[in-house]
Amino acid sequence: MTAAALAGLKVIDLGQAVSAPWCARLFADYGADVIKVEPPRTGDVARHWGPFPGDRPDPEKSGLYFFLNTGKRGVTLDVSRAEGRELLGGLVRGADVLIENHLPPRMRDWGLDYATLAQGNPDLVMISITPFGQTGPYRDWHGCDLNAFHLTGASSRYCGRPGEAPLEHGTFAADFCGGAAGAAWGLAAVLGRRFAGGGQQLDVACAEAIAATFSGSQNIGAVALTGAFDRRTGVGMSLRAPATILPCRDGHAWILAIEDAQWQGLVRAMGNPAWTEAEVFRDLYMRAEHADAMYPLLAEWTRAQSKWEIMERCQAEGVPVTAVFTVAEVADHPHLRERGCIVALEHAALGSVRTLGAPFRLQGSAVRPTRAAPLLGEHNAEVYRDWLGLDERELDRLRLTGVV
Residue 227 lies in a domain: no
pLDDT of residue 26: 96
pLDDT of residue 102: 96
* CB 350, CB 42: distance < 8 Å: no
pLDDT of residue 132: 94
Residue 220 lies in a domain: no
Find the CATH number of the domain harbouring 319: 3.30.1540.10
Domain end point (choices 272, 304, 326):
326
Say if residue 79 is in the same domain as residue 145: yes
State pTM to two decimals. Answer: 0.90
Find the CATH number of the domain harbouring 363: 3.40.50.10540
* CB 317, CB 266: distance < 8 Å: yes
C-alpha 233/C-alpha 200 separation (Å) is 42
Say if residue 200 is in the same domain as residue 134: yes
Residue 237 lies in a domain: no
pLDDT of residue 216: 66
Say if residue 115 is in the same domain as residue 252: no
Say if residue 94 is in the same domain as residue 203: yes
Domain end point (choices 274, 293, 326):
326
C-alpha 402/C-alpha 392 separation (Å) is 15
Residue 378 lies in a domain: yes
Domain end point (choices 326, 350, 371):
326
pLDDT of residue 60: 97
Say if residue 306 is in the same domain as residue 271: yes
Say if residue 309 is in the same domain as residue 356: no
Say if residue 54 is in the same domain as residue 194: yes
Say if residue 314 is in the same domain as residue 364: no
pLDDT of residue 365: 74
Residue 285 lies in a domain: yes
- The H or E element containing residue 380 is helix 380-388
Say if residue 272 is in the same domain as residue 175: no
Residue 369 lies in a domain: yes
* CB 167, CB 157: distance < 8 Å: no
Say if residue 368 is in the same domain as residue 311: no
Say if residue 154 is in the same domain as residue 280: no
pLDDT of residue 158: 77
pLDDT of residue 217: 59
Residue 248 lies in a domain: yes
Contacts (Cβ under 8 Å, ≥6 apart) of 31: 3, 4, 5, 6, 7, 8, 9, 365, 366
CA distances from 116 to 41, 57, 79, 119, 324 (A): 28, 38, 15, 6, 50
pLDDT of residue 154: 78
Q: Domain residues for 69?
A: 10-214+337-400
Say if residue 57 is in the same domain as residue 190: yes
pLDDT of residue 2: 65
Q: Please return the burial class of 334, using the count of CB atoms within 10 Å of its CB with bins 0-12, 13-18 and 19+.
A: exposed
pLDDT of residue 304: 96
* CB 394, CB 33: distance < 8 Å: no
Mean pLDDT split into 10-residue runs, the chain, 404 residues: 83 97 96 97 95 95 96 97 96 98 95 96 98 93 87 80 81 92 96 90 94 72 68 69 93 94 96 94 88 94 96 96 92 87 91 88 76 96 96 95 96
Residue 388 lies in a domain: yes
Q: How many domains is the chain partitioned into structurally?
A: 2
Q: Please return the burial class of 318, using the count of CB atoms within 10 Å of its CB with bins 0-12, 13-18 and 19+.
A: middle
